[in-house]
């Protein structure tokens, strides 16, 4: 059985939320933010994946001992008592990385010596020989953290800090660390922008960190691929076969990812900066994807007229003598250039002094406090609009394609009709467009005063450039037709994803909005996940569950954010049990229940692999809602799951948990699904799909399939 270990991942101040979401994407469980890092649990594959793939983490630590201390002697003795032979061979080398927050040891050098002596003495007593110390390239790096009352000793799985990708030799002036640059790009939603084929531009590129990190993100390149070793390579419990599997997957993803690289452009007025960028990008293996030029920031231009994308730069800090006097003119020139030429783009600008931002004369939509080493910086998120002649409103300067009027006309027609229907139904969340015109293959959903545009992955027969142009049409037209603020229109790309990718988050804002449906309230998220947290096509299904739940114990499997549980509670369920594999979604479900006043011991939340859990559960339920994924091979599941192959076994397991008069509602969004009736003939199965398709999904009656399943009555035997 795979062993699960506790870990701690370090990161820069303020980046804990980004790192938490990264680790959950890698399959980590029991994930929680701490000051300066994130605690999590997982097997070695999760740890290896974090070391290889994390763009945010500094170190991945595996605690092997945690003990109380009172003085220096207790620090030494606790370290000496560790079974070091389980982690390190005496023929190998080690080093100590010591830090403290208070405690009986004042100096890190003395602390390192004390722990080194404890390790050496332990080996001498147990083996008669001792390992050597190598502070430059040890086989095992031992991390020690001491507080007033406790010492924590860990194996450093990363070795060198993970921000050291291996491509940067010269950093230029005040260079950003690689994981800081990656964090800014993730906050700027560069993964989404790159997926749309839109460009990245750094007009003050320096040593090229933003450009190189941007290329690695866009090309699905693991940031640790350049490194020849990590801290776990000399550790006795290292699993080389598992590591090679993780690394091979990364190689395959890189080979596929670089085929769809967007434009990545960098410029700087310093010739040496361009040379440094080119050398660093060559070492990183991405130089062929960069377009570099030596030019002043005021001469920066979009690669094509009407094209939009992301601008990101680490502006000069003015730390050198005489430089500060030049900054107001520099920022004024940058601001004028962005306003004049980059309408429709978005700019993320890092400032060493927030006061410098005033010279830009641009309004930031958001501000973040970040740290570049010890220097506190301000990150500005600036949407770039231009004022159209003869108007007072600000719009993106994007030219629409010839087919745009067709989409605009259809959206207006649908919106007018469905707005009246939604008002009658007292609905604020509904679908207003769903690929009605094949050339505009998107879905548009309204959530109060927000809209979500989901772009369906275009077939290979559709030119990628044309598809990107049509999406830009949509993003320009939707806010105008619906009367929404453009920042409240959110774009998501929906494509077939399998394996690890199907669980990845798409953003890191952690921003939730409250919406209403049928007298209930739910938290939805438009930025961080592929789905918002509320499946609109299940609106009638949820209402059916409410009507069936009175005085029944209700079980919600693969519960996602628990909306079905809230409906059951509203309908008078005696109890609800909400089961999902994701701690994030369970926490979301609990918040949704509390938002509606449903709390207490009658409402349980269980983190588990539902497929395994239903086979072990003993309680009987009067109502079960089963809405499994089409496919999953998450590391948190014991086995790979496929709905077509496994539905019979899963339905029988759920039926075994039903009371004699119990009802199972089974739903799937697999449009090719075929229920295998023959092995389920011991159950009464009614296809209720037609009754569960809402009017706003009437254009696509295969959005899901739904079945009502019961035990056969004696007269049916």
Per residue in 150-186, pLDDT (tens digit) is 999 999 999 999 999 999 875 444 478 999 999 999 9
Same domain, 496 and 619: no
Judge whether 630 lies within some domain: yes
| Domain final position from 337, 355, 387 | 387
Is a pLDDT exceeding 70 seen at residue 324?
Answer: no
Give the CATH number, domain containing residue 650: 3.40.50.150
**Are 693 and 582 contained in the same domain?**
yes
**pLDDT of 209 above 70:** yes
Residue at 516 is within a domain: no
Q: Find the helix or strand (DSSP H, E) in which 425 lies.
A: helix 404-425
Q: Are residues 117 and 44 in the same domain?
A: yes
- Residue 173 located in a structural domain: no
The total number of structural domains in the chain stands at 4
Q: Is 529 among the domain residues? A: no
Contact 293, 279 (CB under 8 A): no
pLDDT at 400 exceeding the cut of 80: no
Instruction: Specify whether 660 is located in the same domain as 549.
Output: yes
| Token pair listed for 407 | 């989409």
Nearest to 428 by CA among 348, 495, 515: 515
Q: What is the pLDDT of residues 682-715, one digit of tens each?
A: 999 999 999 999 999 988 778 999 999 999 887 6
Tokens of 596: 């509606």
CATH for 431: 3.30.750.80
- Judgement on whether residues 409 and 383 belong to the same structural domain of the protein: no
Predicted local confidence at residue 205, as pLDDT: 94
Region of poorest pLDDT, from 430-439, 489-498, 507-516, 589-598:
489-498
Q: What is the mean pLDDT of residues 571-585?
A: 95
The predicted pLDDT at position 288 comes to 95
Nearest alpha carbon to residue 308 among 278, 280, 268, 343: 343
83-95: average pLDDT: 95
Last residue of a domain, one of 105, 124, 156: 156
pLDDT value of position 504: 43
Please state, in angstroms and as integers, the Cα–Cα distance from residue 274 to each residue in 208, 219, 264, 280, 315, following that order: 8, 22, 14, 10, 16
Same domain, 425 and 293: no
Whether residues 125 and 45 fall in one domain: yes
Q: What is the pTM of this model?
A: 0.60
Please, what is the average pLDDT of the chain?
89
Domain membership flag for residue 334? yes
Work out the average pLDDT over 259-287. Answer: 95
Rounded average pLDDT over 445-452: 95
Predicted pLDDT at 713? 80
If asked whether residues 380 and 408 sit together in one domain, one would say no
Question: Would residue 239 count as lying in a domain?
Answer: no
Nearest to 587 by CA among 617, 562, 552: 562
pLDDT at residue number 376: 84
Whether residue 190 is found in the same domain as residue 44? no
Work out the average pLDDT over 419-446: 91
What integer pLDDT is reported at residue 494 of this predicted model?
58
pLDDT at 501: 36
- pLDDT above 50: residue 465: yes
In this model, does residue 418 exceed pLDDT 50? yes
Statement: residue 26 has pLDDT above 90? yes
User: Which residue did the predictor score with more confidence, 472 or 231?
Assistant: 231
Among candidate residues 355, 387, 419, the one where a domain is terminated: 387
The pLDDT-based confidence of 460 (bands split at 50, 70, 90) is: low
On whether residue 249 sits in a domain, the answer given is no
| Domain identity same for 482 and 575 | no
Lowest mean pLDDT among 151-160, 351-360, 617-626: 351-360
Distances (CA, A) of 574 to 274, 502, 555: 68, 35, 11
Q: Dump pLDDT digits (tens) for 378-395.
A: 999 999 875 444 333 334
Regarding whether 45 and 150 lie in a shared domain, the answer is yes
182 and 127 together in one domain: no
User: How many whole angstroms from its chain centre is CA 697?
Assistant: 28
pLDDT at position 637 is 53
With 60 as the cut, is the pLDDT of residue 509 above it? no
What was the pLDDT predicted at 452?
A: 95
For residue 131, tell me if it sits in a domain.
Answer: yes
89: domain CATH number is 3.30.2130.30
Domain range spanning residue 27? Answer: 5-156
Q: Write the secondary structure of 72-110 as one string of H (helix), E (strand) and C (coil).
A: HHHHHHHHHCCCHHHCCCCCCEEEEEEEECCCCCCCHHH
Q: 3-class SS at 711?
A: strand
Could you tell me what percent of the chain has a pLDDT over 70? Answer: 91
């Amino acid at each position: 059985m795979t062993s699960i270990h506790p870990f701690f991942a370090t990161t820069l101040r303020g980046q804990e939320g980004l790192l938490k979401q990264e680790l959950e994407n890698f399959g980590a469980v029991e994930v929680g933010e701490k000051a300066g890092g994130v605690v999590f649990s997982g097997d070695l594959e999760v740890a290896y994946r974090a070391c290889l793939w994390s763009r945010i983490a500094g170190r991945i630590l595996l605690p092997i001992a945690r003990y109380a201390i009172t003085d220096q002697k207790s620090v030494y003795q606790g370290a000496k008592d560790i079974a070091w032979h389980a982690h390190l061979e005496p023929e190998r080398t080690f080093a100590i990385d010591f830090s403290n927050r208070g405690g009986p040891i004042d100096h890190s050098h003395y602390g390192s010596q004390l722990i080194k002596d404890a390790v050496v003495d332990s080996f001498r007593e147990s083996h008669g020989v001792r390992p050597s110390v190598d502070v430059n390239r040890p086989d095992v790096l031992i991390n020690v953290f001491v507080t007033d009352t406790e010492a924590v000793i860990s194996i450093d799985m990363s070795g060198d800090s993970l921000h050291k990708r291996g491509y940067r030799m010269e950093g230029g002036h005040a260079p950003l660390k690689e994981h800081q640059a990656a964090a800014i790009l993730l906050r700027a939603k560069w993964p989404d922008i790159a997926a749309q084929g839109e460009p990245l531009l750094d007009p003050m590129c320096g040593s090229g960190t933003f450009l190189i990190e941007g290329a690695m993100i866009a090309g699905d390149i693991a940031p640790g691929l350049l490194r020849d070793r990590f801290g776990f390579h000399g550790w006795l419990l290292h699993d080389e076969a598992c590591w090679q599997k993780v690394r091979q997957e990364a190689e395959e993803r890189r080979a596929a990812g670089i085929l769809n690289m967007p434009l990545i452009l960098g410029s700087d007025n310093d010739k040496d900066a361009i040379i440094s960028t080119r050398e660093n990008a060559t070492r990183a293996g991405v130089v062929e994807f960069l377009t570099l030029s030596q030019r002043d920031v005021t001469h920066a231009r979009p690669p094509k007229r009407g094209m939009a994308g992301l601008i990101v730069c680490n502006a000069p800090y003015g730390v050198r003598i005489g430089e500060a006097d030049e900054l107001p003119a520099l920022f004024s020139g940058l601001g004028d250039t962005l306003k004049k030429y980059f309408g429709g783009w978005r700019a993320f600008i890092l400032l060493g002094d927030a006061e410098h931002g005033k010279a830009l004369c641009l309004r930031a939509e958001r501000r973040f406090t970040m740290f570049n080493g010890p220097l506190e910086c301000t990150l500005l998120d600036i949407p770039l609009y231009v004022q159209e002649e003869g108007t007072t409103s600000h719009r993106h300067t994007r030219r629409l394609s010839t087919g745009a009027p067709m989409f605009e006309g259809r959206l207006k027609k649908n919106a007018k009709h469905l707005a009246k229907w939604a008002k009658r139904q007292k609905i604020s969340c509904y679908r207003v467009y769903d690929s009605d015109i094949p050339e505009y293959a998107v879905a548009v959903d309204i959530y109060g005063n927000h809209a979500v545009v989901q772009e369906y992955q275009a077939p290979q027969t559709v030119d990628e450039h044309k598809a990107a142009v049509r999406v830009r049409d949509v993003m320009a037209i939707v806010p105008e037709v619906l009367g929404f603020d453009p920042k409240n229109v959110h774009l998501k790309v929906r494509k077939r994803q399998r394996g690890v990718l199907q669980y990845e988050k798409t953003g890191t804002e952690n921003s939730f909005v409250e919406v209403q449906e049928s007298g209930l309230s739910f938290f939805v998220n438009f930025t961080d996940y592929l789905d918002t947290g509320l499946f609109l096509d299940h609106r009638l299904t949820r209402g059916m569950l409410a009507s069936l739940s009175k005085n029944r114990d209700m079980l919600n499997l693969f519960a996602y954010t628990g909306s079905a549980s809230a409906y059951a509670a509203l309908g008078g369920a005696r109890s609800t049990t909400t089961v999902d594999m994701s701690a994030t979604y369970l926490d979301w479900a609990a918040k949704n229940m509390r938002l509606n006043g449903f709390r207490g011991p009658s409402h349980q939340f269980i983190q588990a692999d539902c497929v395994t859990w239903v086979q072990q559960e003993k309680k009987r339920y009067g109502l079960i809602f089963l809405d499994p994924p089409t496919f999953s091979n998450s590391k948190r599941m014991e086995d790979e799951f496929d709905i077509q192959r496994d539905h019979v076994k899963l339905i029988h397991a759920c039926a075994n948990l039903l009371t004699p008069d119990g009802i199972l509602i089974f739903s799937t969004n697999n449009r090719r699904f075929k229920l295998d009736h023959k092995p389920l003939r011991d159950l009464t199965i009614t296809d209720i799909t037609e009754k569960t398709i809402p009017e706003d999904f009437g254009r696509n009656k295969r959005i899901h399939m739904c079945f009502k399943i019961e035990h056969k009555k004696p007269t049916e035997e």
